[in-house]
């Protein structure tokens, strides 16, 4: 259920502040002004402290998120924000989980370049990858192009968009409040080419992987592939409408159709081995589930076998989100294995 957190929080703030205003005398205009300012501050969460901006290749900078999940302490700073800096323009790949995070990312971008921002690509519909759009349209205008796969556009403009905005406020105890939904407004699909101010960006999409609408953004000149959540680095999370088979197909497509040297995930540290890490873990989960299904075993047997698999066991100790998500990962893999092998 989506709890109407903002309204409840606002009501609480208003009640407290009304008491203060009454004490000061309602006829006092300054008190009423203070009341309005206080409610405004409460509805809009506080600024996010500056984070380092890091250059990962000649044209690509990221503001990395050390945490994999949103908390009140990190104010939702849980996903990397990427800037591809071309000769005459900057393309943003995923804009962060809130207005405040997007604002911080813009401040950090301005410490390294004055090049204008010319667009955003949102890699998929999970809110930590697009809620920051609001900051970028505030800064650069509503005409700023915002590209995404059609599935992503529909999800963000629909009930999923609202869910993610509300959930992020709840998970951060109000830190992201004030963030408005600014959906992507232009379709991109496999084979499309975008320009980051003169630098070519190639879009890849191979069907459902992490979600039905994932796109990867290739900065071919740098050998960099921005993969969103198709690949993660030492993290597992929401895979509710993803696909193992689709992720393998997507990995194969990305390898066959690019010369990637650096995989840049939405969560975790970019590196040459991110795809191999993800493939090993996913093969450990999925292939074990297929073997269990073929042997007539149930999901509990699959679970035990997966956890014993050395490819999986090797990840258990240092993968963020492990305890909360591994059970669900195995259940989803088992269901998919059943469907694929029926
Ligand atoms: Zn995601």
pLDDT for 32: 55
Q: CA–CA separation, 266 vs 214, rounded Å? A: 12
How buried is residue 121: exposed, middle or buried, by Cβ count under 10 Å (0-12/13-18/19+)? buried
How buried is residue 1: exposed, middle or buried, by Cβ count under 10 Å (0-12/13-18/19+)? exposed
pLDDT tens, residue by residue, 97-140: 999 999 999 999 999 999 999 999 999 999 999 999 999 999 99
Is the Cα dihedral 226, 170, 158, 247 positive or negative? positive
CA of 87 to the centre of ligand 1 (A): 30
How buried is residue 7: exposed, middle or buried, by Cβ count under 10 Å (0-12/13-18/19+)? exposed
CA of 45 to the centre of ligand 1 (A): 23
CA of 230 to the centre of ligand 1 (A): 8
Residue from 299, 274, 252, 243 nearest 80 by CA: 274
CA of 324 to the centre of ligand 1 (A): 15
CA of 124 to the centre of ligand 1 (A): 7
pLDDT for 342: 72
CA of 333 to the centre of ligand 1 (A): 17
CA of 296 to the centre of ligand 1 (A): 32
Q: CA–CA separation, 123 vs 115, rounded Å? A: 22
pLDDT for 43: 84
pTM: 0.87
pLDDT for 33: 53
CA of 34 to the centre of ligand 1 (A): 40
Q: Which two tokens stand for residue 268?
A: 């975790």
CA of 242 to the centre of ligand 1 (A): 10
CA of 36 to the centre of ligand 1 (A): 37
Strand partners, 265: 228
pLDDT for 29: 54
**Residues of the chain under the 50 pLDDT cut:** 1-27
CA of 229 to the centre of ligand 1 (A): 5
CA of 256 to the centre of ligand 1 (A): 24
CA of 120 to the centre of ligand 1 (A): 17
CA of 228 to the centre of ligand 1 (A): 7
CA of 121 to the centre of ligand 1 (A): 14
CA of 126 to the centre of ligand 1 (A): 5
CA of 16 to the centre of ligand 1 (A): 37
CA of 48 to the centre of ligand 1 (A): 21
């Amino acid at each position: 259920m989506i709890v109407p957190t903002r309204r409840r929080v606002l009501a609480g703030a208003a009640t407290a502040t009304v008491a203060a205003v009454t004490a000061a005398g309602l006829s006092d205009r300054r008190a009423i002004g203070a009341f309005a300012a206080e409610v405004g501050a409460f509805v809009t969460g506080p600024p996010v402290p500056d984070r380092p901006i890091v250059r990962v290749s000649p044209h690509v900078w990221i503001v990395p998120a050390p945490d994999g999940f949103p908390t009140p302490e990190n104010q939702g700073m849980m996903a990397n924000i990427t800037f591809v800096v071309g000769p005459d323009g900057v393309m943003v790949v995923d804009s962060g989980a809130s207005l405040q995070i997007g604002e911080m990312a813009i401040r950090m971008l301005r410490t390294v370049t004055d090049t204008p921002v010319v667009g955003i690509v949102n890699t998929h519909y999970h809110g930590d990858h697009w809620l920051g759009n609001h900051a970028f349209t505030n800064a650069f205008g509503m005409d700023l192009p915002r590209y995404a796969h059609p599935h992503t556009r529909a999800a963000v403009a629909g009930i999923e968009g609202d869910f993610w905005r509300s959930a992020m406020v709840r998970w951060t105890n109000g830190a992201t409040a004030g963030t408005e939904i600014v959906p992507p407004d232009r379709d991109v699909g496999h084979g499309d080419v975008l320009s980051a101010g003169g630098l070519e960006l190639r879009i890849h999409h191979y069907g459902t992987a992490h979600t039905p609408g994932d796109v990867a953004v290739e900065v071919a000149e740098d050998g960099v592939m921005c993969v969103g959540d198709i690949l993660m680095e030492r993290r597992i999370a929401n895979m509710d409408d993803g696909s193992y088979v689709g992720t393998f197909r997507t990995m194969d497509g990305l390898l066959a159709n690019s010369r990637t040297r650096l995989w840049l995930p939405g969560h975790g540290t970019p590196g040459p081995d991110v795809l191999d890490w993800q493939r090993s873990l996913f093969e450990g989960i999925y292939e074990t589930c297929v073997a269990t299904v073929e042997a007539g075993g149930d999901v509990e047997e699959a679970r035990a076998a997966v956890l014993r698999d050395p490819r999986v066991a090797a990840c258990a100790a240092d993968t963020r989100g492990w305890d909360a998500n591994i059970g669900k990962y195995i259940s989803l893999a088992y269901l998919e294995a059943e469907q694929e092998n029926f």
